[in-house]
Amino acid sequence: MSGKNLTTAMLILCLSQSVCVVAGITSKENESSKLVIYVNQGKDRIAPEIYGHFAEHLGRCVYEGFWVGEDSDIPNVRGIRKDVVEALKKIQVPVLRWPGGCFADEYHWKEGIGPRDRRGRMINTHWGRVIDDNSFGTHEFLDLCEMLGCEAYIAGNVGSGTVEEMQDWVEYMTSDSDSDMATLRRKNGREKPWRVRYFGVGNENWGCGGNMSAEYYADLYRRFQTYVRNYSGNRIVKVACGPGGTDLRWTEAVMEKAARHMNAITLHYYVRGSGNWTNKGSATEFDEKEWFALMKNTLGVDDIIARNIGIMDRFDRRKRIDLFVDEWGTWWDVEPGTNPGFLYQQNTLRDALSAGIFLNVFNKYCHRVKMANIAQTNNVLQAMILTRGKEMIVTPTYHVFEMFKVHQGATMLPSDLVCHQYQFQNQQIPALVTSASKDAAGMVHISICNLNPNKDSRLECLLEDYSPKNVTGRILTAEKMTDHNTFENPNVVRPVSFGSAKVDGNLMTATIPAKSVVVLAIK
Ligand code: AHR
């Protein structure tokens, strides 16, 4: 059958089944899952910042994860460890958010500039009550961003800070004038101002950032953001604090009062299995019930994004304001024997699948989701990197970011999926989650997650108006759901080449193995 005939046959089949998963129609067990990609109908760019990261002064994320100090015997450049920067460059970090998180609303930036032996010593009250000697501050962070070649996203202090402090910070970093702040920056060793693209006015101000009501925060936001100024050609994207999880009332109240004054609003979305905040479950010891629960909970982000966008649209008819999911990821009980305040957790194939779902969903909403930051970069929550003294390993989630980087800056391609369901006990969810994009060179990339840990899924993919010659691919999977990388065995979960995909005319076929993330490149 020619590609065109297949197109028609598949569409008829799909149409006879009402085309999409949303309608609850699924591929029968003995049929293939079917994906139609409209290769010439893409219009929205996937902002690279959707693949963004977040580093807080929490546990060993910044200290040890990034910062070891100039005198350390761990190889470093100006105190920042080399191995971590090199690993992160491979995943093309587009933006890094800092210094928190909850830490942001108790951070006083002036304590973190100037000679290190004269910097302030503060108690990190949120995270283990340890002393932070401020040896990693504004200069070190912006130096790190320059090393990574990424945009800086600073989270300002509304909860315990002042308007003057926030205004001074922006001026200190970005002004090329001879004002007192710019002069102080020069005195501290940085002649030219930095480029600071994103500035968050507070973090989780409904909780750790001051326990405010939405209305009170919205008023404070309006006041604080007034003084977040543009200096010397630097253009700041002003970011308002949005809801955590499902609190749509917060979105509504902040949008109603302050929409006119913001460029973006945030959403935080953490997921776990079937546990609760007291017993979140082990990161590495779980059964299929916990696996299924995480997949299901992760899929919930789709609905939450859609509802937030719905509310935003009511107050922002021109769709000028972006949604930044600036904290997301899995959250498990800390690794046994570690400081509970440090949120150190391992990271298995299950976390990788969850990350793959999140990123595919962000791609889908790329017309409005313009940034997302996984929590967090090193040694905290769903980390990319784990360190132990001099040693460093990368996690399964790191590999997902590396595989998905092909979507950064590409055009999102609309698609329809009719797929098998993954059934567990009396519940079911779609077995496959996919997204596709076309890059500047015309290469089509499809990222596919098979959430079912027991069954492969045969996929037929129709590429509308496209006649590719070749398909290559990579796959991330492992023998067991709980497999993860350790310092002793760092390559248990890593991507390998995937040879089962074939193209014939405009039809691509592949068998997507159980519990895997596959990224295909088609040209
Ligand atoms: O990422 C850990 C914490 O989670 C952040 O500090 C806070 O913003 C969120 O509650």
Question: Tens digits of per-residue pLDDT, 432-485?
Answer: 999 999 999 999 999 999 999 999 999 999 999 998 999 999 999 999 999 999
Task: Quote the CA–CA distance of 417 and 486 in Å, as a whole number.
Answer: 36
DSSP state of 333: P
Q: Quote the crossing angle between the two packed helices 180-187 and 163-174, to the nearest 10°.
A: 60
Q: What is the mean pLDDT of the chain?
A: 94
Supply the pLDDT for residue 7. Answer: 39
Supply the pLDDT for residue 30. Answer: 67
- Asked if residues 399 and 493 have their Cβ atoms less than 8 Å apart, the reply is yes
Q: What is the mean pLDDT of residues 241-255?
A: 95
Model confidence at 27, in pLDDT bands (50, 70, 90)?
A: low
Q: Specify whether 327 is catalytic.
A: yes
The total number of residues written for the chain in this structure: 523
Task: Quote the CA–CA distance of 244 and 490 in Å, as a whole number.
Answer: 34
Question: By C-alpha distance, which of 251, 246, 245 is closest to 270?
Answer: 245
Lowest mean pLDDT among 14-23, 166-175, 275-284, 488-497: 14-23
Supply the pLDDT for residue 28. Answer: 65
The amino acid that residue 380 corresponds to is V
Q: Specify whether 151 is catalytic.
A: no
Distances (CA, A) of 27 to 17, 22, 44, 54, 423: 9, 13, 29, 38, 13
| Run of H or E residues at 360 | helix 349-364
Supply the pLDDT for residue 9. Answer: 38
Residue ranges lining ligand 1, Cβ < 6 Å: 56, 100-102, 203-204, 327, 375-376, 381
Question: By C-alpha distance, which of 370, 466, 368 is closest to 4?
Answer: 466
Mutation choice for ligand 1 from 208, 241, 267, 331, CB with most ligand atoms inside 8 A = 208
Whole-structure pTM over 0.85, yes or no? yes
Supply the pLDDT for residue 14. Answer: 36
pLDDT over threshold 50, residue 508: yes
Question: Tens digits of per-residue pLDDT, 80-136?
Answer: 999 999 999 999 999 999 999 999 999 999 999 999 999 999 999 999 999 999 999
pLDDT over threshold 50, residue 185: yes
| Run of H or E residues at 301 | helix 288-315
State in Å, rounded, how far the first CA of the chain is from the last one. Answer: 21
Nearest CA to ligand 1 atom 4: 101
CA of 204 to the centre of ligand 1 (A): 8
Q: What is the mean pLDDT of residues 385-403?
A: 98
